[in-house]
Amino acid sequence: MSKGLQKALLGWYDARKRDLPWRKDHDPYRVWLSEIMLQQTTVAAVIPYYERFLSRFPRLADLAAAEEAEVMRLWAGLGYYSRARNLLRAAREVTAAGGRFPDTAEGLRRLPGIGRYTAGAIASIAFGRPEPLVDGNVVRVFARLFALRGDPKGAALQKKVWALAETELERARPGDWNQALMELGATVCTPAGPECSRCPAARRCAAKARGLQDSLPAPARRRAPLKLAWTALLARRDGRVLLWKRGDDERFLPGHWGLPEGRHLPGAAAGKLVRRVNHSITHHRIAVAVREASAPARLPAGARWVPEAEAPALLVSSLFRKALAV
């Protein structure tokens, strides 16, 4: 299928691709930044963050020199905050090594936050390396093109798709080819149902030929949501609010500033309910009861009194912004 599929899909991509800000050039810094942001996040959500980051950090060296708190503030609301920390770590590593990104997938995977997919994306798009990639869009496209059954997140189907991504790779234009596959999955061969009348690969699609285009791939097995209940303490004094910096060993939101939980302030007395906040982190559904509290006279090391007007600048997670009603 390779040659006919490659010609049809690349021709469609050249004519129909979306005008996205990270497609304006192949600068490795910009490609890397966009790919990290696009992990687990939609294109529409990423665009304003990407543009703000480039406005503040136009070069890799600018990001490498930044304070973590500023990077986290610019990331606030984008979620999966370990990506932001890895972004800063990788920027510093590359800058310390001379300022040039590794130009192979193998070299890129040594950087924090870069796995198999992201390494393939950067290597192919920024450096023209013939590297395959597989994300959710590519799994869906290949599952339909080749009538593959199985759990799209399961190891068996993932292995088959990675093998196809390698054999079908257009080696003269690997970056455009990889983007074309993802573009097709995002805009035409979508999870809600393929628009076969608009698909450049419809004549070559095994699922369409067998009438299976709406049933492949099978829905991924969903994890049942886990419900958690937290109590957050809202202590105020002289125009200040008590914030807590969560430890790096916290299961949720490590390293974030937020309102302390009861376990953080053993001597605090929780009182009147101020508000309830609902928040989701991956498959966890967290119900937070925000209660007025009086802080103990002796504060533990993680606690700090902060002027209320300055508190929003420290709060990155929308959970704590909602809890403080910012």
Structure tokens at 44: 């529409």
Average pLDDT over residues 70-84: 93
Q: What is the pLDDT of residue 93?
A: 98
Compute φ and ψ for 177, nearest 5 degrees.
Answer: -60, -50
Q: Are residues 41 and 163 in the same domain?
A: yes
Q: State the residue range of the domain holding 259.
A: 226-323
pLDDT at 61 over 90: yes
- Judge whether 311 lies within some domain: yes
Mark whether 98 and 176 lie in a shared domain. yes
Please check whether residues 96 and 237 belong to one and the same domain. no
165 & 235 share domain: no
The helix or strand, by DSSP H or E, that contains position 120, with its residue range, turns out to be helix 116-127
pLDDT at 266 over 90: no
Q: What is the mean pLDDT of the chain?
A: 95
| Per-residue pLDDT tens digits for 288-311 | 999 999 988 888 899 999 999 999
Cα–Cα distances in Å, from 246 out to 195, 261, 281, 302?
47, 10, 16, 7
Same structural domain, 99 and 10: yes
Q: What is the CATH number of the domain that holds 33?
A: 1.10.340.30
DSSP helix/strand/coil, 22: helix
The answer to whether residues 81 and 316 touch, using CB atoms and an 8 Å cutoff, is yes
Residue 38: how many other CB atoms lie within 10 Å: 20
Does residue 204 form part of some domain?
no
Percent of the chain scoring above 90 in pLDDT: 89
Q: Is residue 174 domain-shared with residue 265, that is, in the same domain?
A: no
Domain end, chosen from 189, 208, 235, is at 189
Torsion of CA 252, 256, 262, 266, to 10 degrees: 120
Number of domains in the chain: 2
Over residues 320-326, the mean pLDDT reads 91
User: CA 239, CA 310: separation in Å to the nearest integer?
Assistant: 11
Read off the pLDDT of residues 165-176 as tens digits, 9 standing for 90 and up. Answer: 999 999 999 999
With respect to residue 207, please indicate whether it lies within any of the assigned structural domains. no
Please give the pLDDT value at position 219.
Answer: 84
Residue 275 maps to a domain:
yes
Tell me the CATH number at 281: 3.90.79.10
pLDDT of residue 45: 96
| 195 belongs to a structural domain | no
User: Do 174 and 247 share a domain, yes or no?
Assistant: no
Question: Does 1 have pLDDT greater than 70?
Answer: no
Residue 166 and residue 60 share a domain? yes
Asked whether residue 8 falls in the same domain as residue 120, the answer is yes
Q: How far apart are CA 161 and CA 166, in angstroms?
A: 9
Same domain (yes/no): 182, 285: no
In a domain, 143, yes or no: no
52 and 180: one domain? Answer: yes
The dihedral built from the CA positions of residue 206, 211, 214 and 215, taken in this order, carries a sign that is: negative
Query: Using CA atoms, how far apart are residues 29 and 321, in angstroms rounded to an integer?
Result: 31
User: Would you say residue 2 has pLDDT above 80?
Assistant: no
| Positions marked active-site | 35
Q: Which residue has better confidence, 129 or 2? A: 129
Can you tell me the mean pLDDT for 237-263?
94
Q: Answer yes or no: is pLDDT of 315 > 70.
A: yes
Please check whether residues 237 and 126 belong to one and the same domain: no
pLDDT of res. 222: 80
pLDDT of residue 326: 73
